């Protein structure tokens, strides 16, 4: 009787462990599948007096899996958070700039290698801008177009740009205003993004150790 009971328990445990192994195999296969597919992202920014939001749509496997979320763009909250961080800061702005320069020198090759695999399908933005003075508005818009040209050159050099960005600015010479409406659609490999994030994290740790040797402080969080 005891032997029969032990046999039943052994059979149950065998089925139970087999089921757990099957679940583990399925999870591993799903992780591998996700890592070796591309993630498509479409970002739609609306910045007006009435509405300030960013709508981000993510799709996998040619829209088989889709997810959308909305990010509110509230400058007052950002300003308050920035002021809160300013009060907590233990190092000067120059030290922070020095740290990020060192971080960039350690991680720029990693980031550039990842960007070269990012595909940008289209960039369309319309900006309505004015500072309340016709001369200053004209100078500001000229500077903005120069910066747009620099950004276009960077995108062409470091990413796979399918067509040139379409960014136009409508000036308002009589009022102070800033409104923007635009979309950007791009894709990247999840596997490469995860690997790049891991390498950047290692570069950050290396930079922090080097920086703490030359700048003895306890401000960079562990």
pTM: 0.70
What pLDDT score does 162 carry? Answer: 92
Query: What is the pLDDT averaged over residues 81-104?
Result: 67
Determine the pLDDT at residue 7: 58
DSSP the chain: -HHHHHHHHHHHHHHHHHHHHHHHHHHHHHHHHHHTSEEEEEEEEEESSS-EEEEEEEEETTTTEEEEEEEE--HHHHHHHHHHHHHH--S-HHHHHHHHHHHHHHHHHHHHHHHTT-EEEEEEEEEEEEES-HHHHHHHHHHHHHHHHHHHHHHHHHSEESS--EEEEEE-SSSEEEEEEEEEEEEEEHHHHHHHHHHHHHHHHHHHHHHHHHS--S-S--
Confidence label for 39 from pLDDT (cuts 50, 70 and 90): confident
Answer with the residue of higher pLDDT: 130 or 17. 130
pLDDT at 23: 87
pLDDT at 219: 47
Confidence of residue 198 (pLDDT cuts 50, 70, 90): very high
pLDDT grade for 220, boundaries at 50, 70 and 90: very low
Residues 161-192 have pLDDT tens digits of 999 899 999 999 888 888 999 999 999 988 88
Task: Give the lowest-confidence range in 14-18, 98-102, 150-154.
Answer: 14-18
């Amino acid at each position: 009787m005891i032997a029969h009971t032990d046999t039943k328990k052994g059979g149950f445990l065998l089925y139970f462990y087999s089921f757990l192994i099957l679940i583990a195999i399925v999870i591993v296969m799903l992780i591998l599948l996700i890592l070796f597919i591309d993630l498509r992202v479409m970002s739609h920014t609306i910045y007006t007096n009435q509405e300030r939001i960013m709508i981000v749509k993510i799709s996998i496997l040619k829209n088989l899996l889709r997810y959308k979320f909305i990010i509110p763009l509230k400058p007052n909250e950002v300003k308050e958070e920035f002021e809160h961080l300013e009060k907590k800061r233990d190092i000067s702005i120059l030290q922070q700039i020095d740290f990020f320069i060192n971080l960039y020198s350690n991680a720029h090759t990693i980031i550039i290698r990842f960007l070269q695999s990012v595909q940008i399908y289209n960039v369309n933005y319309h900006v309505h801008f004015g500072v309340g003075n016709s001369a200053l508005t004209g100078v500001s818009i000229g500077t903005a177009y120069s910066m747009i040209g620099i950004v276009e050159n960077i995108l062409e050099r470091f990413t796979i740009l399918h067509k040139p960005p379409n960014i136009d600015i409508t000036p308002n010479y009589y009022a102070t205003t800033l409104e923007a409406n635009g979309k950007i659609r791009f894709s990247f490999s999840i596997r490469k993004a995860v690997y790049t994030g891991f390498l950047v994290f290692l570069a950050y740790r290396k930079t922090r150790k080097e920086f703490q040797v030359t700048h003895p402080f306890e401000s960079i969080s562990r």
